[in-house]
Structure 1
Amino acid sequence: MTIKDIGPEPQSFDLEQATLENTTYRTVAWSGKHLQLTLMSIPVGGDIGLEAHPGTDQFLRLDAGRGRVQMGSAKDHLDFDREVEDGWAIFVPAGTWHNVTNIGDEPLQLYAVYAPVHHAAGKVQATAEAAERDEESGDDEPPPWSVQPVRPPSDQHA
């Protein structure tokens, strides 16, 4: 299944199938004015990377694999620590440091909903390294039709 981000237009597709078939670190599947959906595949032993989004709430749902989610108020104070697996949801409040690590023996397949929109519409990043390069170069900015905070705070990475 190939998903094409059509921007803030009505869209419908089999989200579980798309998530399970996704092989990229991150693919932006739909970008609206106020929220965004990305599909993610984290390789065995890999992780999302410790980060905090000061102005963005996140919802993540696992459709395959096993993971460990860690969250907290500071990058050196991750007092929320849970093992998660297929069917589990993760809620990340804005400003919360978080990481999800694949602790299983297969890719961790998940999707993330960001509010407000966080990534460039239709952006496909094959690896975590590609995502980091895009962020550093400014090549992963939300689309102009999205509603952003007046002065969006910068993400923080460990």
Structure 2
Amino acid sequence: RYKTSFPSLLLLIFCSVRSNYFLPHKIDFVCLSSAATPHPGGFKCFTCQDAADNYNCNRWAPDVYCPKDTSYCYTLHMMDNHGDSVSVTKRCATLEHCRFAGCVNITHNGFQVCTSCCHGNVCNVLVPRNDSGAVFSSAGPLVGAGSTPRPAALRYITLITASSCWTHLRSQII
């Protein structure tokens, strides 16, 4: 049984209202959290198929949990010979899909394809643009590592997040 605290309720209300003031150059990461997961160790990834660029992928990504058999967030970024995005694909992935992170040049059209994988909730915010970003990384402790935030810390984080949402909301209204 889950209990909803007052700060969590405030965060939900502010995030709902805040979405009406969405700025096109910002992604609302503060409001991508949820109190309950569908299974232990549940996490989310930005997901899209052949989006025009990273912004459109992240902005329109559905807010859903990854399947239980996946542990990573996978990103494939295709760029033209000027480094501009041609296609972005992001999804939940298994370890098998993440074994070959890196960049490859496609000689017949001059495109470059970079792939990366990460481990952590919505860790695939950015797209890899070169070999430095095309890596297999962990954004935090591995699932099941035994490190969980204490309830007091969670309340504090929720309160700070709600305060941030409220400050942003007030600045949009005034």
TM bracket, shorter-chain basis: under 0.3
The one of the two structures with greater contact order (alpha-carbon pairs below 8 A, sep at least 6) is: 1
Structure with more of its chain in strand, by fraction? 1
TM-score (norm 2): 0.25
TM-score (norm 1): 0.27
